[in-house]
Amino acid sequence: MPSDREKLEVESLAAVADRMSNAEHGSRTHTVALAEFTRRQTLAQLQATQAQIDAAEAAKETAIYTRQNAKYLLWSVIVLASSSVLSLILTAVGLWSK
């Protein structure tokens, strides 16, 4: 037979709130409903904490990949600039050698 807490576990949050508001303060029903409220709040906080941890990991990975892409972009700009300078030099040498 399920306990009072287990019975409340499957009820909606509104049903738990109604049960708690209809019970006398300090009664067993009120205490069990309050414990269920606290349990659900704790679960929600744990889920939110895990979501924050996941978001931090994703941000860290994004920063790593952004740094790598910035390095690749820098090297491609250096190669492009070198190629342009070399092309300019070869063009100049070609024009002056005529």
Q: What CA–CA distance (Å, rounded) separates 30 from 28? A: 5
Residue 29: per-residue pLDDT: 87
* pTM of the entire predicted model: 0.63
Taking Cα atoms as reference points, which of 22, 30, 2, 25 lies closest to residue 38? Answer: 30
Which range of residues forms the domain containing residue 19? 4-96
* Interval 68-95: pLDDT, tens: 999 999 999 999 999 999 999 999 998 8
Total of domains in the chain: 1
* Interval 19-48: pLDDT, tens: 888 889 889 888 888 989 999 999 999 999
Taking Cα atoms as reference points, which of 24, 31, 23 lies closest to residue 3? Answer: 31
Complete DSSP assignment for 73-97: HHHHHHHHHHHHHHHHHHHHHHHHT
Q: What CA–CA distance (Å, rounded) separates 92 from 88? A: 6
- In the three-class reduction of DSSP (H, G, I as helix; E, B as strand; rest coil), residue 58 is classed as helix
